[in-house]
Structure 1
């Protein structure tokens, strides 16, 4: 194979690429608790090591409550959704974040902070429905969790 870049000579071709200092999962999150309010969990690094603490299904539509102990936050995750479907997460002192599926079939809400004791609920609405999968228009899927659910579910998804 011939190198298409100029300079460096044979020594440059023989050297392996430099290793990164630390894997991405070891990165320090960009926020913690209240400073994460309204932030995307993936952008902040809070998705690393997060767990699903509650979930429910209707046909192909799946809603989850995700929890990050690193960031001490929760957010909603909706998969199997259609464009226009909505989701809302709320925590007990009435803090809320909403999200609407714009493209694709998966959506996350922005994060909400939680204390050591908390209660949270997620609701997802199939706005137009999905007749192919027997989901009627305006069908609402709800799930709730609290601090006792942390550690009782696997870290899937």
Structure 2
């Protein structure tokens, strides 16, 4: 998957980026982006910062249902978290995800239209485990 980054310095070592000037935005493969971000040579574009995440947390806390987020929200967060010194951002991400997971659990097994793809996968895993557990109960086996 390609993601957009902003180069902070020239990267002549990579042929596909040797003509890109610092502060220009470019799309690269995700692994390339993570490496450049981790090394401080680039920054992600279109990724929520700490202030925006705190706003999202507040909005999510005030809403009874899951708030709509961009479908690529989680991959963009992973990209942002690949930068050095992101402890505060990680804490905010965890807080937001905990709020959302609580809402998903409260509605289980129903699906919310605003679930992110990663949340749908989580719900699918939970449903499969729940069904397996119910089968074990029916057979009288110890779960």
More strand by share: 1
> For the superposition of Structure 1 and Structure 2, which TM-score range results when normalised by the shorter chain?
under 0.3
The TM-score, its normalising length taken from structure 2, stands at 0.28
More helix by share: 2
